[in-house]
Structure 1
Amino acid sequence: MGRHVKQLINYTTSDVKAFIDNEDKYKVGIKLYAILQLTKGKPSRELEELYGTSFKQILNWAARFDSQGIEGLRDKPRSGRPARITSEQLEALRLVLLDSPEKQGYNSGTWSGPLVQDFIKNQLGVEYKLANIYNLLHSIGFSYQRAKGVYPERDENKRAQVKADIKKV
């Protein structure tokens, strides 16, 4: 009979990971604790599973800490591809998405990925792949929700009408 493992009720593993990833102090603390384990003689290969990273990354942390101190453990800003649309345009898009697409001239009651893609292309002059549209929506606080289809076949009156139309042909 094994020991009981404590299960969290209000948080998932991904929630806890998000807390760690979003707070620089936690990340530095975890790196420091890994380095502490190294100084106590733990092999980096044993630590890689515990810290969820490669042994080489743990050794890199130790080398940076040794040469730069605590500042070597802080994440540096990374360069990347410049954004295609500005933060002001993103905020304007967020405000537009809060309203119905019908107000923007679309024949739909809800926003979909392809509608947002078309809106950005027409209004902002920027083309995005559909997968990036969903990433963009997530970055401004929206999430994808699968639409529930409306099937006319389920309405008995419409179903009878369709059957009658088929028989006429």
Structure 2
Amino acid sequence: MPKNLHLELTDDQRCDLRGLLGRRDLARHTRLRAECVRLLDRGRTVTEVADLLECNPVTVRAAVHRFEKGGLDALPDAPRPGRPARILGPEDRAELADLLDTSAAAGITWTAPALRDWLRDERGVEISAYWLWELLRRDGFRWKRTRDSVRHQADPVLQQAARAELGDLRPCGRPPTPDKAT
């Protein structure tokens, strides 16, 4: 059976821990580790802490060992490997918003790949079409899929003449369909 872990914090560490737990932008795993340290400092056992925080006792022990090695600075997650996510700068977003607003007023529609190409050519920003679509959605831009139709450009007089001509060709016994144009 594993030995019980005991943790005694100094007053400065307790104050720093309270400040860390008071932050609203704290990541979920960092908060969990800080809560483990706080509850163990209050005299709880590893199993009690694991039950209270609804996690595995191994997680509690790992948080304590992490704290013992590096203090409060060791509780946050390590930086993720790889290239950081592409984020459009505020100037790029403002320019893109202006483009979309003026295009909407002129009746021009854009696809995400076309906007990606515009950003690459005009602003020198490399970003994927999907990530651009996601950023636009987060910024509150809404759109709907356009249809490939020219029905709105049809001449009503020609439509009526075509319906009359087709009415004569209708098979016997089938009632005529109601006229949608009138």
Q: TM-score, normalised by structure 1?
A: 0.51
- Aligned CA distance change for structure 1 residues 128 and 68 (closer, same or farther; 3 Å): closer
1:136 CA drift (Å): 4.2
Q: Could you list the per-position Cα deviations for residues 8-65 of structure 1 after superposition, in whole angstroms to 9, with x for gaps in the alignment?
A: xxxxxxxxxxxx99624987554222234456124376456x36xx665443322111
CA, structure 1 residues 145+58, in 2 after alignment: closer, same or farther (shift >3 Å)? Answer: farther
Uncovered stretches (5+) of structure 2, i.e. residues with no partner: 1-21, 167-182
Cα 1:76–1:27 shift into 2, 3 Å:
same
CA distance in 1, matches of 2:50, 2:158: 68
2:37 to 35, 39, 43: 35
Q: Which residue of 1 aligns with 2:140?
A: 143
SS in structure 1 opposite 2:89? helix
Equivalent residues in 2 for 1:12-91, closer than 5 Å: 23-24=25-26, 28-37=30-39, 40-43=44-47, 46=51, 50=54, 56-82=58-84, 90-91=89-90
- By relative contact order (CA 8 Å, sep 6+), the higher-ranking structure is 2
- Amino acid corresponding to residue 35 of structure 1 in structure 2: V
Name the Cα RMSD after superposition.
4.6
- Alpha-carbon shift at residue 133 of structure 1 (Å): 1.6
| Letter in structure 2 aligned against 1:41 | T
Give the Cα separation in 2 of the matches to 1:74 and 1:57. 14
Distance 1:110 1:95, change over 3 A: farther
Distance 1:70 1:165 in 2: 81
Structure 1 contact 97–111 (Cα < 8 Å) conserved:
no
Please give the alpha-carbon distance, in whole angstroms, between the structure 1 residues aligned to 2:156 and 2:29: 64
Cα deviation for residue 66 of structure 1 reads: 1.9
Tell me, which stretches of 5 or more residues in structure 1 are unaligned? 1-19
Query: Which stretch shifts more, 118-127 or 21-30?
Result: 21-30
Compute the TM-score of the two structures, normalised by the length of structure 2.
0.48
Alignment of 1:100-139 (within 5 A): 100-101=99-100, 108-109=107-108, 112-125=111-124, 127-137=126-136
Number of aligned positions between the proteins: 138
Q: In the TM superposition, what whole-angstrom CA distance separates every residue of 1:79-114 from its partner, at most 9, and x where no partner exists?
A: 531566xx7x7333212122144858xx74465423
Instruction: Output the CA distance in 1 between the equivalents of 2:57 and 2:111.
Output: 43
Of structures 1 and 2, the larger Rg is shown by: 2
